Chain A
Amino acid sequence: MARTIVITSGKGGVGKTTTSAAIAMGLAQRGNRTAVIDFDVGLRNLDLVMGCERRVVYDFVNVITGEATLNQALIRDKRCDDLYILPASQTRDKEALTQEGVGKVLDEMGKTFDYIVCDSPAGIEHGATMAMYFADDAIVVTNPEVSSVRDSDRMLGILASKSRRAENAEDPIREYLLLTRYSPERVERGEMLGVDDVQEILSLDLLGVIPESPDVLDASNKGAPIILNEQSDAGQAYTDVISRYLGDDVPHRFLDARKKGLFGRLFGG
């Protein structure tokens, strides 16, 4: 039985797709058979971040409607044999992802995969609720910024009421906080909410803090998930996230501002 993980946020552009790609690659690199599904119907983008956009033939909706088999639609990653990508459909019909259809595809995938990572679209509409409905775990991607924190809390309410686990009165979805685009320097200057502040407001298990990093744009330019960049702060932070998710007790890194020279300290700012 696979474990299904939804990457969700409510607010758009906070780093869900970046995180989905990194986490799926990280789990697969450690030998777990992993699939990552793009639920953003009409706005397919995970393929680009994963670097497989030219190999897309069939998509998630094709599998639901029976126009393609799962094996035809899944794209095997060229860097990691245990990783597969299921791209989103570019149809404009948002309702194409029926609950029954999504459930059937996830059930079939559950037989052969260890982890299924679901990249949710922004918002609280159909695509986002479908991405979370079947989840066992939820990673709530949050930026240290007021509207993102508020939207994350809104998603917690929806996770607790509109999921298969909630409707069948099973154990609730396990929820984790992932704080991304974090700037320790700005936190130190009092310009940005700190990790403790966000955790205190949302009271969630902290899975990790990903620093703001120019390497993330570089990674998406190249179509290579950031976790593959072992030199990068952000890549290393995602590697720690995988360890923590798998149960290792790894200390959080990159939470403090880099030490500045005397000049920088004198003039602050």
Chain B
Amino acid sequence: MGLLDLFRKNQKSSASVAKERLQILVAHERSARDNTPSYLPRLKEDLLKVIRRYVDIEPDQVQVTLDSDGNQEFLELNIALPEDR
């Protein structure tokens, strides 16, 4: 701690501000990542039923995932149709 630092002493250091901001942000982003909604498997099952009315596909050809990009959440639906329909 130098003499000049004494004048800045009352201010919080920028590193501790950074740490606080990151702790809040990372906690938020992790919970968004981990909290995949519990309805996702049932949604997938229902979708599969509907699609099967039209095409014959296997369960593993339907992928339902939830992604978030900061403040927006995306429901991603990926259906691989069989080649000879």
Which residues on A are within 8 Å of B, measured CB to CB?
A: 145-146, 149-150, 153-154, 157, 187, 189-194, 197, 200-202, 264-269
CB atoms of B3 and A267 under 8 A apart: yes
B13 nearest CB across to chain A (Å): 3
Query: What count of chain B residues pass the 8 Å CB interface test?
Result: 19
CB atoms of B3 and A191 under 8 A apart: no
Q: List 20 A-B contacts (CB under 8 A).
A: A146-B21, A146-B22, A149-B22, A150-B22, A153-B26, A153-B29, A187-B15, A189-B13, A190-B13, A192-B15, A200-B23, A201-B19, A201-B22, A201-B26, A264-B2, A266-B3, A267-B3, A268-B2, A268-B3, A269-B2
B1: chain A residues within 8 A (beta carbon) = 268
| B5 interface residue per 8 A CB criterion | yes
Q: How far is the CA of A268 from the CA of B25 in the complex (A)?
A: 32
Known contacts A153-B30, A190-B14, A267 near B4 by CB under 8 Å: yes
Contact with A along B58-69 (1 / 0, CB 8 A): 000000000000
Known contacts A266-B2, A267-B2, A267-B3, A197 near B15 by CB under 8 Å: yes
Say which residue of A153, A191, A201, A265 sits within 8 Å of B14 (CB atoms). Answer: A191
By secondary structure, the A interface counts as helix
Which residues on B are within 8 Å of A, measured CB to CB?
A: 1-5, 13-16, 18-19, 21-23, 25-26, 29-30, 33
A120 nearest CB across to chain B (Å): 20
CB atoms of B26 and A193 under 8 A apart: no
CB atoms of A201 and B23 under 8 A apart: yes
Q: How far is the CA of A72 from the CA of B14 in the complex (A)?
A: 52
Q: Which 4 A-B pairs have the closest CB atoms?
A: A268-B2, A190-B13, A197-B19, A268-B5
Q: How far is the CA of A146 from the CA of B16 in the complex (A)?
A: 11
B49 nearest CB across to chain A (Å): 25
Who on chain A is nearest to B32 by CB? A157
Who on chain B is nearest to A267 by CB? B2
B72 nearest CB across to chain A (Å): 15
A203 nearest CB across to chain B (Å): 9
CB atoms of A190 and B2 under 8 A apart: no
CB atoms of A269 and B4 under 8 A apart: yes
A172 nearest CB across to chain B (Å): 14
CB atoms of A154 and B29 under 8 A apart: yes
B20 nearest CB across to chain A (Å): 10
CB atoms of B15 and A190 under 8 A apart: yes
